[in-house]
Amino acid sequence: MKKEILELVNKGEMLPLMEEFYTIQGEGYHKGTAAYFVRIGGCDVGCHWCDVKESWNANLHPPTKTMTIVDNAIKYSDTIVVTGGEPLTWDMTKLTKELKQKGAKVHIETSGAYELTGAWDWICLSPKKLKLPTEEIYEKVHELKMIIYNKSDFKFAEEQASKVNDNCILYLQPEWSKRDKVIPLIVDYVMQNPKWKVSLQTHKYLNIP
């Protein structure tokens, strides 16, 4: 990446855009809602079960002017979901400012591993054991989404739930490749611990992005 381009990326004037698409939000509180997704490249959290590993290397995704991303997004929806990769690898200030000035509601899906930048209408935190969230983000999140891959993940989920604010909605979501095995465990756990809700990747059942 050329030095002048890298400087613009570091300022949030450009972002490594992996893909953008209009679809239905499949997970969590806003499932079933039409939304425009902006997937930003770059992530070093390294979840072995990640279903978008091609997002990890930011250098594979072309630096794109932030205003171009904004102009594309608002053509389709007033609900914009910024995801990754790990979007907080980059400064989200300009992207969210410009989207909100256009009247959009701006959501983020993040592991919380980096400083929270940007102004968000909805923050979905999905912590990962390999790189824990920053302490500051817990008080600001609206939704905690814990991915359940095996039984030990319930303990990690409770540890993370103890840190978020009282208004945060708590979700347990089966890791897709293990769904047949862990869905019965999640159902039993939520019935015994009703502060939690079940989240499913409904977009995969609907066969949409």
**CATH, residue 175:** 3.20.20.70
For 13, 36, 38, 39, 71, the CA distances from 75, given in Å and listed in that order, are 20, 9, 13, 17, 7
- Whether residue 1 is predicted with pLDDT greater than 80 in this model: the reply is no
| Structural domain count of the chain | 1
Report helix, strand or coil for 87: helix
**Mean pLDDT across the stretch 82-108?**
97
- Domain boundaries, position 71: 3-206
- Whether residue 3 is predicted with pLDDT greater than 90 in this model: the reply is no
Which residue matches tokens 């209009």?
22
Reading the block at residue 187, the tokens are 């159902």
Q: How does pLDDT run across 102-144, given as a tens digit for each residue?
A: 999 999 999 999 999 999 999 999 999 999 999 999 999 999 9
pLDDT, residue 92, reads 98
For 74, 75, 90, the CA distances from 21, given in Å and listed in that order, are 12, 11, 20
Q: Enter the pTM of the model.
A: 0.95
- Whether residue 49 is predicted with pLDDT greater than 90 in this model: the reply is no
Report helix, strand or coil for 19: strand
pLDDT, residue 33, reads 97
